[in-house]
């Protein structure tokens, strides 16, 4: 039997299980292939004892509508940065990539399908350069990979964010308040932009367009008459004022000594900036956070994830390596991993959706 190993890395998102299921279902049509999964990205291969699971049709039955990933995931550690304690008891990182490739060979793995975002695909490329037969599948709710028109999980995240805007609009109107919704996206404002347009927000603040707090205040004032009115603001976690830095929160290290810097607190910072600018209105913030990552994927993401999974395995059958599955409407194709990680998919201020947003009166604070 030939063997393909599947790994899911980085943050979880709706649709991961649909990709796993599609890989297994497509592989089941071939008599000489079996599928195994590594637990928590490549950590399952690197641990002692090895943590892998057989993925067959029974294992993946009905998982396409479930959120998360049955394999588990992590954005910590990995083959090129495995945490170890030195002789003084301090944590450091070592490169175990060569060892991992030898373990894959020992396990009889002929090809690897790595499902993940920008960071995961950089690992894919580095492993490919070391001789690993590897296929990437793009996964990110942030839609920040430029080599594909869309990534699964993105539309579900937009839907969740839009529903949150819908709910906040009614309470903002009832209380004459400014309600600020902070959404994910890191350095790309796609979720915030789409949710603001779909939900009818008055202001949208994204990383690609640093805002002028006075212009934000001007838009807010235009919505109030004699203290009565309301404003809904959608802000990306990476949004910032002109000349300011990103708002960073430090994540506590775990028992392995990891310390990750993550974005967050943009909404709270905006409230303080507005108060400093003399904003007299009542303000509240809502941080949507990981609600955007969880739950049932919408139909669009299930379909796209299934297409990605089938294509990934077919690329394995074709003997391809060092490529990532890509969606270029209306085709599911592939691109070199070097192209996939070459450019971050920022929101272009001249893109059609930005122009649409401006056309319906949404302010970006610029």
Q: What share of the chain is helix, strand, coil (3-state, %, to 5)?
A: 35, 25, 40
211 contact partners, CB below 8 Å, separation of at least 6: 205, 239, 240, 241, 242, 364, 365, 366
| Catalytic site residue from 142, 214, 348, 366 | 142
Place of tokens 């790595």: 114
321 contact partners, CB below 8 Å, separation of at least 6: 111, 128, 132, 133, 134, 135
Q: What angle do CA 124, 311, 323 make, to 5 degrees?
A: 30
Q: What angle do CA 222, 226, 230 make, to 5 degrees?
A: 50
3-class DSSP assignment, residue 82: strand
- Do residues 127 and 324 lie in contact, with contact meaning Cβ atoms separated by under 8 Å? no
Annotation says 142 is catalytic:
yes
Handedness of CA 59, 64, 68, 73 (dihedral sign): positive
3-class DSSP assignment, residue 366: coil
Using CA atoms, how far apart are residues 318 and 177, in angstroms rounded to an integer? 58
Q: Tell me which residues are annotated as active site.
A: 142
């Amino acid at each position: 039997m030939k063997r393909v190993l599947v790994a899911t890395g980085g943050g979880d998102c709706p649709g991961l299980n649909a990709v796993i299921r599609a890989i297994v279902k497509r592989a089941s049509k071939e008599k000489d292939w079996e599928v195994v999964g590594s637990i928590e990205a490549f950590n399952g291969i690197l641990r002692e004892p090895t943590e892998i699971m057989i993925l067959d049709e029974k294992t993946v039955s009905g998982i396409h509508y479930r959120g998360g990933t049955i394999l588990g995931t992590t954005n910590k550690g990995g083959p090129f940065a495995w945490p170890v304690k030195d002789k003084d008891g301090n944590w450091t990182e070592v490169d175990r990539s060569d060892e991992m490739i030898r373990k894959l060979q020992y396990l009889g793995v002929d090809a690897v399908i790595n499902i993940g975002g920008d960071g995961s695909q950089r690992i894919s490329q580095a492993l490919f350069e070391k001789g690993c037969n590897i296929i990437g599948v793009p996964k990110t709710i942030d839609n920040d990979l430029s080599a594909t028109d869309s990534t699964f999980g993105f539309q579900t995240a937009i839907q969740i964010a839009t529903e949150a805007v819908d709910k906040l609009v009614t309470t903002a109107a009832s209380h004459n308040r400014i309600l600020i919704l902070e959404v994910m996206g890191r350095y790309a404002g796609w979720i915030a932009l789409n949710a603001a347009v779909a939900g009818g927000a008055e202001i949208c603040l994204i990383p690609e367009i640093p805002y002028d707090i006075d212009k934000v205040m001007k838009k807010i004032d235009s919505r109030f008459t004699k203290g009565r009115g309301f404003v809904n603001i959608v802000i990306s976690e990476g949004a910032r004022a002109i000349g300011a830095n990103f708002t960073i929160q430090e994540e506590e290290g775990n028992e392995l000594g990891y310390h990750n810097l993550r974005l967050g607190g943009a909404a709270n910072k905006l409230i303080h900036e507005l108060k400093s600018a003399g904003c007299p209105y009542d303000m509240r913030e809502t941080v949507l956070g990981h609600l955007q990552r969880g739950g049932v994927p919408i139909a669009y993401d299930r379909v796209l994830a299934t297409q990605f999974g089938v294509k990934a395995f077919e690329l394995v059958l074709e003997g391809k390596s060092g490529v990532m599955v890509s969606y270029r409407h209306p085709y599911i194709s592939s691109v070199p991993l070097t192209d996939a990680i070459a450019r971050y998919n920022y929101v272009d201020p001249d893109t059609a959706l930005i122009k649409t947003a401006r056309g319906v009166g949404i302010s970006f604070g610029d």
